[in-house]
A and B are shown apart, each in its own frame.
Chain A
Amino acid sequence: MTSILRRKLDAGNFVVTAEVCPPKGCDCGEFREKSHALGKIVDAVNVTDNQGANVRISPLAPAALLLRDGIEPIMQLTCRDRNRLALQSELMAAAALGVTNVLALTGDHISFGDHPGGKPVFDLESVQLLQTIAALNSGRDLSGARLHGSTSFYAGAAAAPAAEPFEITLPKLAKKVAAGAGFFQTQAIFSPDCLARFAEAVHPLGAKVIVGILLLKSAGMARYVTNRVPGLKVPVDLIHELEDADHPLDTGVAIARRLVAAARPYCDGVHIMALGKEELIPDILAGLARDDDHD
């Protein structure tokens, strides 16, 4: 099975992705409804893995459910909760069920989540997880043993373009590409300058860049993100714009639309983080010339 996301990116199409958080529990009804609505708008749906170190259903099952519904998943996989054996067996299981895209993540630290007393694993980290995926793709496990059938994952990685000092994050991005990352999905970006700097540094590495666009719903949320989320800083003028707005959500959509337009020349796609307002994604994408149709 081959990744449609990869096919589109390789063909030079501009892609749109978004994420849906799987349920805390085994009832995936709402997850499927949300994803179904999203699937009509985006090229692939990210399925998060114990997001923010909070326990949820393993992304494997929801990713497989998406496939059943005809939606292409990007299964996120973190190293926080699984050792190298568990990561490999999870990847093989995902391949067997038809998952083709994996976003390899180290994962937020366990102290942020709902089980802060648990043991964080970090047996591997993102670069090594990418190497592991490459090994499985070549038909071998991490110890070099031959597998009964190899995987054919399209592997991606995360990037934080606004993190400072930027030059210190670069060697790791290069390692990620060298380890097999075909695409980056980035943290939310608010400044076209920062994006230009990132694109200039990353494009020579040869990976596709899918830029994170966060829908700012209010000035309060923008301030919260700035103060509380590592690596995210909403510029003051955007916060003022939201403060002065009669309808902050509309303004947030307008800002996101501007950011998408600013990002367009530098990237291969956008990853929209609408945080429950997924129905607004078409508005955010309005005006964007798309090169392909969604099926």
Chain B
Amino acid sequence: MIVSKQKPFTEILATLEPVSRIFLIGCAKCATVCKSGGEEQLWQMQEDLTAAGKEVTGSLVIDEACHMLRVQRDLRSKGEQVKNAEALLVLACGAGVQSVSTASDRLTVAGLDTLFLGNIRRFGQFEQRCSLCGHCILNETGGICPVTICPKGLLNGPCGGMDEGKCEVNPEAECAWCQIYQRLHDRGEQAPLSAANPPRDFSRNLRPGSLKLEK
């Protein structure tokens, strides 16, 4: 899921400085799990904005704010409240914000910073395991992604900064390549790593990405 975090309230308030009537939008999926844009955060935001002298014309938690047609439809259903607002404050990931800015002619304000595609370790604890790089090498690396877990994204083994199996950038973290070798060793595998991995093909994830499923 997409991990996001609310921007500092002062920053949000500064962006909203020129407007006084605001409609709030959250997302029922990732932003709810991240506690950055669910029902609770919308209520809190309404309270804080009101205390700061703003008027909240209404609020809406969209089932998936990244779903462009749904956003369009849901905003229409809140017609008057949206129309009365000068700005839409969106507590969803960057994709959600852009669904809204595409669907509405109102000033759209992003209330969150979108961080990464995250795994959930436990409630409230997220870890990046995948970088959406467009070319999985997980089958060769024991199911551990060095592109993501190694801060340098190294494809051919640990860097010179690895020590005691720890990462040079974060000595608390285990070196991705130590994890990979350990896991392959435990499985009695080694062969796929004896040859050098070629340079990554970055053309596989040139931006903006798009995918159309064949029928």
A163 contacts B by Cβ under 8 Å: yes
Pick the residue among B156, B163, B193 that contacts A231 (CB under 8 A): B163
B157 contacts A by Cβ under 8 Å: yes
Chain A residue with Cβ nearest B169: A109
The residue in A120, A131, A172 that gathers the most chain B C-beta atoms within 10 A of its C-beta is A172
Pick the residue among B151, B152, B157, B169 that contacts A168 (CB under 8 A): B157
Instruction: Check if A109 sits within 8 Å of B168, measured CB to CB.
Output: yes
Which B residues lie within 8 Å of A127 (CB)? 155-157, 196-197
Which B residues lie within 8 Å of A111 (CB)? 151, 169
Q: Which of A131-146 contact B (CB under 8 A)?
A: 131, 142
* Chain B binding surface, main DSSP class: loop
Instruction: Check if B163 sits within 8 Å of A230, measured CB to CB.
Output: yes
Chain B residue with Cβ nearest A80: B152
Total residues of chain A contacting the partner, CB 8 A:
33
Chain A residue with Cβ nearest B164: A164
B161 contacts A by Cβ under 8 Å: yes
Given contacts A109-B168, A230-B162, contact A165 B178 (CB under 8 A): yes
Docked pose: A168 CA to B185 CA in angstroms: 10
Nearest-CB distance from B168 to chain A (Å)?
5
Chain B residue with Cβ nearest A178: B196
B198 contacts A by Cβ under 8 Å: yes
B160 contacts A by Cβ under 8 Å: yes
Given contacts A120-B152, A168-B177, A168-B178, contact A109 B161 (CB under 8 A): yes
**Ranked 3 nearest A-B pairs via Cβ:** A172-B157, A127-B156, A230-B161
Q: A175-B195, A231-B162 are in contact. List 7 more A-B contacts (CB 8 A).
A: A120-B151, A123-B202, A125-B159, A127-B156, A168-B162, A178-B196, A230-B162
Q: Give chain B's interface residues, CB within 8 Å of chain A.
A: 151-165, 168-169, 171, 177-178, 181, 193-200, 202
Give 20 CB contacts A-B under 8 Å: A120-B152, A122-B152, A125-B154, A126-B159, A127-B157, A128-B198, A131-B198, A160-B160, A160-B163, A164-B163, A168-B158, A168-B162, A168-B178, A171-B181, A171-B194, A230-B162, A230-B163, A230-B168, A231-B161, A231-B163
